[in-house]
Chains A and B, each alone.
Chain A
């Protein structure tokens, strides 16, 4: 079974531009989460989608948004890019919405490395 795929793998943008990153979860997985990884802040949770609905959100400004499609594929968008948005953006998928008694494991994609100049 194919793993989580993310496109593109590398992206270079300039300040003020916007960017869209894509994530295809493992077949059959319905929950997709996004994380930002930077040397200074480490791994931080952005948001989680399940059944095309955002179910959970981290502490990021409104410039960061996402969506999920009916086939569970997800996209995240960052508008008005800032230098500090340079990071590795990781997508993770799991079988279903976890919480409470669910024991789902999140499986991560290779990430998209975004560089903002």
Chain B
């Protein structure tokens, strides 16, 4: 079975400050890891993914995430947050050894960036 935990329901940060959204995962095999963002009344927008190789993954809009196998974590980061980054962020995992495309999502973290 695979699962994802996002321990913070909400993260508040001032504009210009670093932003971190936490994610830990559990899979029986090796993981593929994803971050998506959701704006109000919209679908999920792909930010970045970890497949293999370099543990630091760079994605869209200045976001990056670091894969840490020993801590089973995949935290999302942005060096300088913008008000427009305010949204709902989802971490997702897929077991590399499992057939199919099924993604298991965390509960989501709401990010509020204040001017």
List residues of A whose CB falls within 8 A of some B CB. 4, 6, 31, 33, 35, 42-43, 45, 48, 55-56, 58, 90, 92, 94, 97-101, 103-111
Main SS class of interface, A:
strand
Segment at the interface with A among B11-19, B70-78, B104-112: B104-112
A residues less than 8 Å from B42 (CB atoms) = 110-111
B residues less than 8 Å from A48 (CB atoms) = 100-102
B103 near A100 with CB under 8 A, answer no
Given contacts A42-B108, A105-B46, A108-B45, contact A100 B96 (CB under 8 A): yes
A101 to chain B, nearest CB (A): 8
Of the residues A45, A103, A109, A111, contact of B103 by C-beta under 8 Å: A45
B residues less than 8 Å from A55 (CB atoms) = 99-101
A111 near B43 with CB under 8 A, answer yes
Question: Among B34, B36, B97, which residue has the most Cβ atoms of chain A within 10 A?
Answer: B36
